[in-house]
Structure 1
Amino acid sequence: MKRAWKWLGMSVTAVSLAFMAACGGSEETSQSQTGSSEVEASDGIDRTDWPEKFVYGILPTEDQGELTRQFEPMIEYMENRLGIEFELFVGNDYNALIEAMRNGHLHASGFGPFSYMLAHDRANAEAFAMGVEDEDSATYHSTFITLEDSGIESLDDLEGTTIAYADPASASGHIFPKGMVINHLGLTMDTVDDHFEYVTFSGSHEASLYSILNGDVLVAGVCDVCIERVYERVEDHPKFDKLKVIAESEPIPRGPQAINMDLPESLREAVITAFHEMKDDPNAKEFLEESGYSDYMPADDSMYDVIRETAEALEMSAEDLLQ
């Protein structure tokens, strides 16, 4: 896999935030992308208490056609493993995914670390897997990016500038970068937004990246691996080679795959096993690689206690973030 940070040939200012390690509501929208609806299984599993279809949540990207193509191998693999229809639910943000799970319309989803904490509290979600490139990549970083000609060299230069965050419940796209600014500049939650001329939420890390490339804002908080995943889609942008990183966070635990614990235990076990064995299926392995992973390693709720501690330290409640 190409490593997107190879094109950022500049020095990165590492910003230490000792007490933090934290990624990544509004109106709910959804689209369904569905594979085969007639799937039969002969594995002897009793499916009488299973739903007719399993619904898995994802966030949108700039290219919905590309999103559908990317997930086709996963849909086929999961339908073959579960023996029931597997459907994608595209929520417009993390809050849409959390609310859909809370209301029983969504059975599992990938979350950012902070949004997982909210999903655990509000929707009875439980972490079970984490997508990784290798066994040493269970963490990632939040970065501040800008263009070389922006005149911004460090967090000290942010006053009066314009900034894009990804999603209110995104750790690396909002919580962590906002905490970095607060900690570095001695601001508070009440004053940090006033430090900027304009603050916006783009909806995703990719959208924040385009906000920089297209000149909509001067700086954005994004995760490093998120840019790596969309590298091939953005590398031809005329300003792509002008991107630079001005600050980087301490390591953040990657967001998990989480499943609704209200589901029958036999279904939960089948889904969890299917994720952990995805690397062994040739077609599903293609999906993993395109998503920037080589495997789904086991994960559990305790891994995200540091996110809860971060939110508490920043006095960021679920209610505040999801308004």
Structure 2
Amino acid sequence: MAKYMLVLAAAAAASSALVAVPAAADWREELGSYNIGLLGGENEADRLRRYQCLDDLLTERLGVPVELFPASDYAGVMQGLVAGQLHMASLGASGYAGIHLQDPDAVEPVFTTAQVDGSLGYYSVMIVRADSGIESLEDMQGRSLAYADPNSTSGYLVPRNELAAQGIEDAYFSRTGFGGGHEQAIVAVLNGQYDAGVTWISGQGERAEGYTRGNLRRMVDNGLLDMDDVRIVWQSSIIPNGPIVVRKDLPQEAREIVVDLYGTMHETHPECFAEVAGGEAAGFEPIDHSFYEQTIEMRRREIAQSR
């Protein structure tokens, strides 16, 4: 709770320093609606269903309509935040890095999700069909691989960089491509369109349930996956959990309302917290820009190498 109060105080101070805050009576009229971007990687209907409780809570507390915007890819949410069309989103570390490198004054991270044991990381994994005969990364030579999205941390940036560090470039595979999101990449593997796909897991909890959190957990919960049908053939080192970011020019009172809700949601609205967190977790943990500095440098190198 002490950490949460510090974040609330910092949010108020940052807002006062960065923007001319509208008078209390008119910021709602000026804001119009509070717009939340929802990353791709899960089908639109399930994304909207999971976030409906957050829509209801914030509509009541903010006193303005809340609009949910499920983008077809990560870039849509990122550009919406940079352009000021969105006020908040839950991002991956690479997505935040991409925004920061484009416009460091656009957004800032305020929370990340703590796993059930309190840790703040997760893993990228390479998934194959259990009946594929592929038992290891070595067996993937000459086979096809689906990345999730070019702006995904676990679905592109980290696996590509960690595999390259092992001497495995894209040419190792018969072909690589993008599935269009985490869920879509794994569906493509299940349908035989790719031999393997990369996605994310918490690495905690029961394997049969898709672990406590992650794309596999969501797919199991939504009836799209039986874990007996897949095998993990590669796992990354630990990756920092992605941030919940808000626009830096958000009115101070709106900012405080959002921070207050997220800081206490796991206790005051546990069912909604589980939906927004995408599974089992310990709460939203206050963080700041420094938590993502290594990912920002990794993304900076990736951009430089692509030129």
Common fold: TM-score over 0.5: yes
Mapped partners of 2:200, 2:274: distance in 1: 18
- C-alpha offsets along residues 268-301 of structure 1, whole Å, 9 cap, x if unaligned? 222222211222333xx21222321342111111
The TM-score normalised by the length of structure 2 is 0.80
| 3-state SS in 2 of match to 1:223 | strand
- Any conservation in 2 of the 1:155–1:181 contact (CA below 8 Å)? no
The 5 A counterparts of 1:233-252 are 233-234=222-223, 240-252=227-239
The correspondence for 2:37, drawn from 53, 57, 68, is: 57
The correspondence for 2:26, drawn from 41, 44, 48, is: 48
Q: Aligned pair 1:84/2:33, yes or no?
A: no
AA aligned to 2:27 is D
| 3-state SS in 2 of match to 1:141 | strand
- Any conservation in 2 of the 1:61–1:67 contact (CA below 8 Å)? no
| 3-state SS in 1 of match to 2:108 | strand
Per the TM alignment, residue 222 of structure 1 is displaced from its structure 2 partner at its CA by 0.9
**How much is the aligned-residue C-alpha RMSD, in angstroms?**
2.2
Per the TM alignment, residue 244 of structure 1 is displaced from its structure 2 partner at its CA by 0.6
Per the TM alignment, residue 218 of structure 1 is displaced from its structure 2 partner at its CA by 0.3
Mapped partners of 2:190, 2:272: distance in 1: 28
Other-structure match for 2:145 = 163
- Any conservation in 2 of the 1:288–1:294 contact (CA below 8 Å)? no
The 5 A counterparts of 1:296-315 are 296-312=284-300, 315=301
Q: Aligned pair 1:227/2:216, yes or no?
A: yes
The correspondence for 2:244, drawn from 257, 261, 266, is: 257
Other-structure match for 1:69 = 49
Other-structure match for 2:130 = 148
| 3-state SS in 2 of match to 1:153 | coil
Other-structure match for 1:24 = none
% same residue: 28
- Any conservation in 2 of the 1:128–1:259 contact (CA below 8 Å)? yes
- Any conservation in 1 of the 2:40–2:74 contact (CA below 8 Å)? no
Relative to structure 1, the CA distance from residue 245 to residue 182 in structure 2 (aligned partners, 3 Å threshold; closer, same or farther) is same
Mapped partners of 2:238, 2:134: distance in 1: 23
The 5 A counterparts of 1:93-242 are 93-123=73-103, 124-184=106-166, 186-187=167-168, 192-224=169-201, 225-234=214-223, 240-242=227-229
Per the TM alignment, residue 52 of structure 1 is displaced from its structure 2 partner at its CA by 1.2
- Any conservation in 2 of the 1:141–1:248 contact (CA below 8 Å)? yes
| 3-state SS in 1 of match to 2:109 | strand
The runs of at least 4 consecutive aligned structure 1 residues that moved more than 4 Å come to: 318-321
Relative to structure 1, the CA distance from residue 294 to residue 164 in structure 2 (aligned partners, 3 Å threshold; closer, same or farther) is same
Per the TM alignment, residue 61 of structure 1 is displaced from its structure 2 partner at its CA by 5.1
Per the TM alignment, residue 210 of structure 1 is displaced from its structure 2 partner at its CA by 0.9
- Any conservation in 2 of the 1:125–1:259 contact (CA below 8 Å)? yes
In terms of fraction of residues, the more helix-rich structure is: 2
Q: Aligned pair 1:295/2:272, yes or no?
A: no
| 3-state SS in 1 of match to 2:61 | helix
AA aligned to 2:197 is A
Mapped partners of 1:63, 1:318: distance in 2: 32
Per the TM alignment, residue 318 of structure 1 is displaced from its structure 2 partner at its CA by 7.8
Other-structure match for 1:317 = 303
Relative to structure 1, the CA distance from residue 247 to residue 319 in structure 2 (aligned partners, 3 Å threshold; closer, same or farther) is closer
Q: Which runs of 5+ in 1 are unaligned?
A: 1-44
